[in-house]
Structure 1
Amino acid sequence: MMRPSLNDLSAFMAVATHRSFRRAADELGTAPSTLSHTVRALEERLGVRLLNRTTRSVSPTEAGAALLGRLHGVMNSLDEALDATAAFRGSIAGRVRVNASRVIVGYLVREILPLMAERFPNVKLDLVAEGRLIDIVSAGFDAGVRLMETIPKDMIAVSFGKPVSFQCVASPTYLEQAGEPQLPDDLVRHRCIGHRLPSGKLYRWEFQRAGQEVVVETDGAVVLDDEDLMVEAAIKGLGIAYVVNWVAECPIAAGQLKPVLSSWMHGPERMAVYYPGHRAVPPALRAFLDTVKSAPDQ
């Protein structure tokens, strides 16, 4: 049997991942009819049907799903092997467009960009702060960075950096005046600083202890859509804020804020860079991935 070409396998991966000849053709810059012919020829060469096709849908067969799963690892290994030659070609250059939440963009600026500037000075990072979880492929991004549990299952995810957790914080002055809440239900008697999500909804505060889950829908005395500003409001004594631990670290260390309800907070989560697995990973993106993987995790 003649071995399929990389173009044939890449065409199949794109169609099987998108489950659409049209979307795969848009990504690869070719016609859907060309992709259909390529995949059909691949099936004939292998002697097995890889895709189920109807007028409305495309989905991998059992054989197609098995092949797709193995090809992801093979293609990634091939990309890494090719990228390893970059040192012999000269310095790595290019642009990487990355989508992330504003808080994570702040982390990248503080922790990752200095390392990138030192190791890969010719790689340009285009960071876009986006509160909504978007389709990075259709929006033209090379990668996204989110909490691991929010990343779409069809993406390759690489965890990195310090674990992320949430904290309830308030100023010592506020707590002296209002008292310290001992239970999440006590928050109804406190001024709370609400977090407005990009959807327009208020973020619900989630707590957990000994298997007990508690969700508090705060009617914030102050409502903001930026966690740094939420911390500033808490420092000014405007109430209790529920924020990512990073943004509160320095004010807590300086005595400007004090954690409350610590025993009720969820355990830490991991951040991850994610990107579509059916694409070849460009050297500039590989440089970014290698840098974030080297970030300290403590």
Structure 2
Amino acid sequence: MKQNFTVRQGALDGVEAFLSVAQHRSFRRAAAELGVTPSAMSQAIRALEARLGAALFIRTTRSVGLTEAGERFLSRAKPAFEELVAASEIARELGQRPTGLLRLAVPRAVVPLILEPVIASFHQTYPEIEVEIAASEELVDLPAEGFDAGIRLGQFIAPDMVAVRLTPPFSLVVVGSPDYLRARKLPERVDDLRDHACLRMRRSNGSIAPWPFIDGNKTIEVMVSGPLIAHDYPTLLGAAIQGLGLAQVPGPLARAPIANGQLQSLLTSFAVTTPGVFLYYPGKRQLLPKLRAFIDHIKHRSADVSRGTATARRLRKPNRANSK
């Protein structure tokens, strides 16, 4: 049988009035402090006494004193009420200005690419916000684990979350080191991966992730094999640089190693495009100033990075008119 549970109403009604009267030993002075009439103050105290089942004050025409019940109630109620007031002030402060602890759940690969470039400038702009970064590949329940927000690839974000884009869409690229490729035939088709050592990713649910590709207008997933299974992209990237095998990783993560010759991009015509990286948070929660400040800051800095990358691509692109 379903039980009905209700929250007791008015548990704190009259407590502030009681504390004020106990401090001033006067209903009139307490009423003036709280901005109410003396009769309203008397009614509040009588209602509190009726609810508690005990008289709290001894009233005469000349003075107001505390009963034994009133003394005991005062000794426990005053510090408790002061704590409630302090808690209210802290909550109000967090709701009105950027301050407090901001907890973020992110994959390891996101830290150097997206967070490291912005953390120092964010701290300088908002010195009252502490940032805690929990780098893990686990898809955590943000509210249950006490996180304010997370950062993930778009395809891994639940539809009931509010998602804020941080990067443009990008490709998952297959890369291998020159040392690894020197003694092997370069793969030209997806099927050629059967002849290569492929470094794999284990998902947070325990399964091994297949390698996705685009073949014409069709998306395909290929189960590969190789000497290493890792739980994050940076580990796969590092192993590929060391020549252990081929890896499929996010394009931005491999950009620098490809540019400096540590890795070579392969099967580019089959590369699948991902939605990009997003910051996300529960949609039903009020957006606190600390999170709003971080979103605005990281969006601004990410836009700067994207503009700089686009400019660099244009500068590297050959001028065909002059090359003829």
Normalising by the residue count of structure 1, what TM-score does the alignment of the two structures yield? 0.66
Q: Which residue of 2 aligns with 1:99?
A: 105
Cα 1:94–1:32 change in 2 (3 A) is: farther
1:287 counterpart = 2:260: no
Residue 109 of structure 1 and its aligned partner are, at CA, apart by 3.0
| Secondary structure of 1:146 counterpart | strand
| Cα pair 1:147 1:270 within 8 Å, conserved | yes
1:137 counterpart = 2:110: no
Q: Which residue of 2 aligns with 1:274?
A: 280
Letter in 2 for 1:241: A
Q: Which residue of 2 aligns with 1:233?
A: 239
Counterpart CA distance in 2 for 1:126 and 1:103 is 16
Letter in 2 for 1:101: P
The gaps in structure 1 that reach 5 residues or longer are 1-30, 36-81, 87-91
Counterpart CA distance in 2 for 1:205 and 1:129 is 23
Letter in 1 for 2:212: E
1:224 counterpart = 2:197: no
Cα 1:116–1:224 change in 2 (3 A) is: same
1:212 counterpart = 2:218: yes
Counterpart CA distance in 1 for 2:195 and 2:125 is 51
Q: Which residue of 2 aligns with 1:189?
A: 195
1:165 counterpart = 2:138: no
Residue 159 of structure 1 and its aligned partner are, at CA, apart by 1.0
Letter in 2 for 1:33: T
Counterpart CA distance in 2 for 1:161 and 1:135 is 23
| Secondary structure of 1:102 counterpart | coil
Aligned match of 1:176 in 179, 182, 186? 182
The count of aligned residue pairs is 217
Cα 1:34–1:266 change in 2 (3 A) is: farther
Aligned-CA RMSD value: 2.5
Cα 1:226–1:85 change in 2 (3 A) is: closer
Q: Which residue of 2 aligns with 1:200?
A: 206
Counterpart CA distance in 2 for 1:142 and 1:183 is 43
Matches within 5 A, 1:16-95: 33-34=6-7, 86=97, 92-95=98-101
| Secondary structure of 2:140 counterpart | coil
Q: Which residue of 2 aligns with 1:59?
A: none
Counterpart CA distance in 1 for 2:166 and 2:210 is 26
The gaps in structure 2 that reach 5 residues or longer are 9-92, 310-324
Residue 207 of structure 1 and its aligned partner are, at CA, apart by 0.3
Q: Which residue of 2 aligns with 1:146?
A: 152
Residue 248 of structure 1 and its aligned partner are, at CA, apart by 1.4
Letter in 2 for 1:122: E
Q: Deviations over 1:123-181 (max 9, x none)?
A: 11111122122221111111111122321122211112353431100012222211110
* Structure of larger gyration radius: 2
Cα 1:123–1:157 change in 2 (3 A) is: same
Residue 257 of structure 1 and its aligned partner are, at CA, apart by 0.5
Letter in 1 for 2:130: K
Counterpart CA distance in 1 for 2:225 and 2:5 is 51
Counterpart CA distance in 2 for 1:195 and 1:97 is 26
| Cα pair 2:154 2:274 within 8 Å, conserved | no
Letter in 1 for 2:289: P
| Cα pair 2:169 2:273 within 8 Å, conserved | no
Letter in 1 for 2:275: E
| Secondary structure of 2:143 counterpart | coil
Counterpart CA distance in 1 for 2:151 and 2:7 is 34
| Cα pair 2:94 2:100 within 8 Å, conserved | no
Residue 216 of structure 1 and its aligned partner are, at CA, apart by 1.1
Residue 292 of structure 1 and its aligned partner are, at CA, apart by 1.8
Letter in 1 for 2:143: V
Residue 100 of structure 1 and its aligned partner are, at CA, apart by 1.6
Q: Which residue of 2 aligns with 1:263?
A: 269
Counterpart CA distance in 2 for 1:253 and 1:158 is 29
Residue 283 of structure 1 and its aligned partner are, at CA, apart by 1.2
Q: Which residue of 1 aligns with 2:117?
A: 111
Residue 270 of structure 1 and its aligned partner are, at CA, apart by 2.2
Normalising by the residue count of structure 2, what TM-score does the alignment of the two structures yield? 0.61
| Cα pair 1:161 1:292 within 8 Å, conserved | no
